[in-house]
Amino acid sequence: MNQTKFLLLSLLFIVKFTISCETHDQRDTMSKQFEAYFKSHNDHETEKTLSFLSDDFVLHFTEYDFKIDKGGLVDVLGWDKGVNGKVSYEKLTTKGDSITGLFTEQNDFLKLVGIEELKATITYKFDISGMITKQTYTPLPDQPSFQDKMQAGIEWAKTNRPQELSEIYPKNQMQYNEEMGKRWVILLKEWKTATQLEKD
C-alpha cells in the first residue's frame, strides 16, 4: 500500500514538474517571439513582421468590431511606415497563451493634426509554436479622435489642394497604406506651414 502510494505521489510530481517546465518554456518562447516581432514592427520591416504571424492571424479592433486578416495587415504596416509610426509598451502581463500590455502609439500624422499619442490595451495570442494568431486592440477611454482633429486641415485642402485631397481622401474615406501615409504627412505639413504664415 505504502509502495503504491509512493509511486502515485512520484508520478504526480513528475506530471506537475513536466507541466511546469512546458509552461515556463512556452512563456519564454512567447516572450522572445513578442520582442522580436515588436522590434521588426517598429523598424518597419514588413516581411519580417509578417513572419511572426500565423496564416490565420486576425487583428481585431474591438471599438468597431472590425477585423483584418494577415493579408490586409500589409497595408496597415505600410501606413505605419509612411507616417513614421513608433509604438512603446508598458505593464506587460503573460497569462496562458497570451501577452497583454498598455501600448502608446506616436506618428507624424497624429502630431500634425494635434494629437501627441494614442493609448490602447493590446493582447497578443500565440499558438503552441510561438506564432501570433490574434491581436486584439482596445483603445483606452476618452482617446482623442483624429477624424475630428484633421477637419481644419481638410477644409484648408479643399481650397488649396483640392486635387490632392480628392486622391488621398476619396468620398471622405481614409486609405491606409504606405503611399497614402506619406502623402497625408506632406499635405498636413503644407497646411501647418500655410496657417503659420497666415498667423505671422
Q: What pLDDT, in 10s, does the model give residues 116-132?
A: 999 999 999 999 889 99
Beta strands in the chain, from DSSP E residues, in sequence order: 53-61, 66-69, 86-95, 98-106, 118-126, 132-139
Cell, residue 61: 479592433
What are the structural domains, with CATH classification, of the chain? 2-143 (3.10.450.50), 150-200 (no CATH)
Written as tens digits, the pLDDT of the chain (200 aa) is 455 655 555 554 444 444 444 455 778 889 999 999 999 999 999 999 999 999 999 999 999 899 999 999 999 999 999 999 999 999 899 999 999 999 999 999 999 999 999 999 999 999 988 999 999 999 999 999 999 999 999 999 999 999 999 999 999 999 999 999 999 999 999 999 998 866 65
What is the DSSP-derived secondary structure letter of residue 55? E
**Angle (CA) 54 57 63, round 5°:** 155
Q: Which amino acid is at 145?
A: S
Q: What pLDDT, on a 0 to 100 scale, did the predictor assign at position 28?
A: 84
